[in-house]
Amino acid sequence: MKRVIVIALAAVVLFMPAIASAQKLVFVVRHAERADAGMQPQTDPPLSAAGEARAQKLAVMLADAGVKDIFATEFKRTQDTAKPLSMKTGVAVEQVGSTDTALLIAKIKSHPNDVVLVIGHSNTLPAIIKALVGVDVAIADNEYDNLFVIVPATGTMTRIRY
């Protein structure tokens, strides 16, 4: 009996990389820096020069990550954050309403074997991350450099500053 358990565990360990590689990966980021920072807030501001540079950096970082789906809200700043990667990879940006977290989660889950990028806001990302892996995160209004790497199948999340 002990030998059977050891063989079963060895098989699981041996095949784990194959199983893990079939699981989707979700990148979650806040839009890059807004052009109205430090001024009277606008309803739908574009990106600042720093934001445009950050969007380009994100595109370089994820260009070879195998992103098959990009979801962004209806606002210019999320769309403009997604644009460089979309142009580089040819993956169209799908718009999902900023208040429709349930729809976004359903769309992510409808791509079980794909690598997905989600671009949202400081007040929407915590709910998205909580729905995907059950982890509570806080994002300050002045934080634009968080890249959350999520493996929903294992419930793991890594936060990278970029």
What is the reported pTM?
Answer: 0.84
CATH code of 76's domain:
3.40.50.1240
- Residue 7 in domain: no
- Residue 86: inside a domain: yes
Q: Let me know if residue 11 belongs to a domain.
A: no
What is the maximum span of the chain, computed from C-alpha positions, in angstroms? 71
In a domain, 18, yes or no: no
Q: How high is the pLDDT of residue 39?
A: 81
Edge-first strand order for the sheet with 67-72 is: 93-95, 67-72, 115-120, 25-30, 146-151, 156-161
Band (pLDDT 50/70/90 cuts) for residue 11 is very low
Q: Round the average pLDDT of the chain to a whole number and report it.
A: 88
Q: Give tens-digit pLDDT for 72-131.
A: 999 999 999 999 999 999 999 999 999 999 999 999 999 889 999 999 999 999 999 999
Per-residue model confidence (pLDDT) at position 10: 41
Q: For residue 128, what are the domain limits?
A: 23-161
Model pLDDT, residue 16: 45
Share of the chain above pLDDT 90, in %: 77
